Amino acid sequence: MEENTIAISALQHYAFCPRQFSLIHVEQVWHENYFTADGRLLHERVDSGEIEQRGNMRYERSVSVVSHQYKIQGKMDLLEIDSSHKPQRFFPVEYKRGKPKIEDWDKIQLCAQALCIEEMRSTEVTEGAIWYWEVRRREAVNIDQALRNSTIHIIAEAHRLLEEGKTPLPIADQSRCKGCSLVDICQPKAFRKDCSRKHLENLFFENKAVD
Ligand code: SF4
């Protein structure tokens, strides 16, 4: 990893829960559960690094990508390059173990890869896809302006959190905690109840007023 860059896979952690991002990437804790282990094994299977040429289509696997503009770096599962078009069309594909989600977490990771490809190959990436293992289906993703804006915002916020080095409180949406591999370390219920930070802030500001 280059200095001050964020792993593209970490953006998904931030989009899911900023506290989870901070626990993993600031405090460096990790706890593997069935879902994370299964996802890791899936990526080991697809990360063969083989290049395949079929007619005008070239399939590059496990491609390293970087954006110096956004300070992000990572590895793409698959990059399809269609030479039947001039200029060539680049099409990123990401593999996921689960099924399509309502939220944009997976799409943000794909869009970040697209931003890297655009910078590295001086091109424009308008589409990509996510292949979901559980439902054996490939979902097309439009790399539109709304998705670009969300992705760029998440990148900026993730950099800000890394620089601050502070772990935020648990997110309000408790349903996400059920499937979170870090729930035992995070202790969301205890931290949601814990008002000690608020108490200290009140104490500090009260004392300031007396000064
Ligand atoms: S348990 Fe909940 S609040 Fe804690 S890191 Fe996971 S999702 Fe975030």
pLDDT over 50 at 210, yes or no: no
Q: Give the CA angle between residues 196, 178, 152 to the nearest 5°.
A: 80
Pocket flag, ligand 1, residue 183 (CB < 6 Å): yes
What would the pLDDT profile of 88-99 be if each residue is shown by its tens digit? 999 999 998 888
Q: Put residue 33 in one of left, alpha, beta given phi > 0 → left and psi -120 to 50 → alpha.
A: beta
pLDDT at 103: 86
Distance 100 CA to ligand 1 centre (A): 21
pLDDT over 90 at 46, yes or no: no
DSSP letter, residue 133: T
What would the pLDDT profile of 103-124 be if each residue is shown by its tens digit? 888 999 999 999 999 999 999 9
Neighbours of 121 (CB within 10 A): 15
- Please name the residue whose Cα sits nearest to atom 4 of ligand 1: 186
What would the pLDDT profile of 154-197 be if each residue is shown by its tens digit? 999 999 999 999 899 999 999 999 888 899 999 998 887 765 66
For residues 11 and 147, the answer to whether their CB atoms sit within 8 Å is: no
CATH 1.25.40.10 assigned to domain 6-167? The reply is no
Q: Which residue has the higher pLDDT, 80 or 2?
A: 80
Rg (CA), the chain: 20
Element (DSSP H or E) covering residue 176: helix 175-178
Instruction: Tell me how far apart the alpha carbons of residues 204 and 36 are, in angstroms, rounded to a whole number.
Output: 41
pLDDT at 209: 44
Atom of ligand 1 lying closest to residue 176 CA: 7
Instruction: Tell me how far apart the alpha carbons of residues 2 and 163 are, in angstroms, rounded to a whole number.
Output: 15
pLDDT at 133: 86
